[in-house]
Amino acid sequence: MFKDIYQNLLNELLNGHETTLLTFMNPSDEKRGTIEQKLFLSRHNLEKELPSITKDLKDKILDSFKTGSPMLYNSQNKTILIEPYFPKPRLVILGGGHIAKPLAEFGHKVGFSVVVVDDRPSFANPNRFPEASEVICEDFEKVFDLLNLRESDFVVIVTRGHRHDGVCLRNALKYNSSYIGMIGSKRRVKTMMDELVSEGYCKEKLNNVNSPIGLDIGAVTPEEIAISIISQVISFRRSKGSILNNNLEKFNWPEFDSDVIKEISQQSEIPRALITIIASKGSVPRKAGAKMIAWMDGRVIGSIGGGCSEANIITLARDVILTKGYSIEHVDMTGIVAEEEGMVCGGTIDVLIEAF
């Protein structure tokens, strides 16, 4: 019934747009009810006058973008689930040298879509960077037309020379990326920043450039330097603000399961349920936004954390499929419950189960 909604949602995300999905629920009691409607909106569409979106609801949607967390909104005996979706973050590595190689590997392992750029064919090739989703061999000046940097991008400048670093930084500053970092000694960085100020670049934007790049962990080897860089990138991904001035605002980059979204946008002859973590607290295996699908025949795709708790939710999903409605379940992984199930984590999650 709503498969086109999820296909359109996926298309928006692939195009780099932040998007929200609204699920309108008609509750019959505190836990159960029926799904009436789903609506997705790109963030830029919220600037328009939308008859179906009240000012209060619009404010809640914008709040969800700020926190990165789903939320339930109650209005006129209806419950609306607001789910913010962000494109998979890209780690754009400008320079394919000795630091770029471990950095691409670490970036891929922690959930980034990695893009590597270099102007030398011997460095910019897929064999050198098997973890990268894209390797581009192009002049650093020209490549920005191909990259089309997004707000969800994290840009790391580690080219082979000061001149190339300057070309990359001047171009990267034209975009509003989530992070820009540039390698270099304090002296060389100061010299470049003074040059850019004299050229008329905004001091505020220059102050947001992380250079010298990475966390100060005393890194020496390429692998250690890559770890210091990816650690700083992660801190920006998980927070809003600068770790350099301790101005951090907690941000939950929503869990995103592209395989689940692709599958739910396809027709299925076997009844199934879409399972979503809509709230999480404490140390839990998967955070708010994580999804999975459970079919009536026992198949599953995705995960909300595994273990006995997930198995219990899958069992409850079969009942929801039969009623063709929804159910909101609370899962406790703290204290005695966690100990009995052999969990090393402890926390709670609220799960929405929808017949699909």
Give the pLDDT confidence of 129-143 residue by residue, as tens digits.
Answer: 999 999 999 999 999
Q: What values do phi and psi take at 180, rounded to 5?
A: -130, 125
Mean pLDDT for all residues in the chain: 89
Which run of H or of E encompasses 251? none
Q: pLDDT at position 226, please?
A: 98
- CATH number of the domain residue 98 falls in: 3.40.50.720
pLDDT at 254 over 90: no
Provide the pLDDT for residue 49: 65
Specify the pLDDT at position 42. Answer: 86
Six token digits for residue 22: 């609204």
Which residue among 226, 250, 274 closes a domain?
A: 250
Query: Quick check: 224 pLDDT over 50?
Result: yes
How big is the CA angle at 253 (ends 251 and 254), to the nearest 5 degrees?
Answer: 125
For residues 126 and 142, what is the distance between their CA atoms, to the nearest angstrom?
A: 20
Q: Tell whether 14 and 109 lie within a shared domain.
A: no
State yes or no: pLDDT of 13 exceeds 60.
Answer: yes
Same domain as 222, residue 107:
yes
Residues 344 and 230 in one domain: no
Q: Is 344's pLDDT higher than 80?
A: no
Same domain, 49 and 160: no
Q: How far apart are CA 346 and CA 281, in angstroms?
A: 9
CA–CA distance, 51 with 75 (Å, rounded to integer): 15
Q: What is the pLDDT of residues 187-210, one digit of tens each?
A: 989 999 999 999 999 888 999 999
Residues 275 and 289 in one domain: yes
Q: List alpha helices for the chain, DSSP H.
A: 3-14, 55-67, 100-109, 144-147, 162-172, 186-198, 203-207, 222-237, 258-264, 307-323, 335-340
The count of structural domains within the chain is 2
Instruction: Work out the pLDDT band at 335, boundaries 50, 70, 90.
Output: low
pLDDT band at residue 339 under the 50/70/90 scheme: low
For the sheet with 291-295, list strands across it: 71-75, 78-85, 19-27, 32-42, 326-332, 346-355, 272-283, 291-295, 300-302
Assess whether 150 and 273 both reside in one domain.
no
From 227, 250, 273, give the residue that closes a domain. Answer: 250
Co-location of 159 and 50 in the same domain: no
pLDDT of residue 44: 79
| Band of pLDDT at residue 1, cut at 50, 70 and 90 | low
Please compute Rg for the chain using Cα positions. Answer: 23
pLDDT confidence band for 257 (50 / 70 / 90): confident
Full residue range of the structural domain in which residue 287 is found: 3-85+255-355
The pLDDT-based confidence of 241 (bands split at 50, 70, 90) is very low
In this structure, are 191 and 263 located in the same domain?
A: no
Structure tokens at 268: 């299925």
Tokens of 168: 């990359």
Tokens at residue 155, please?
């840009």
The residue with greater pLDDT, 72 or 246, is: 72
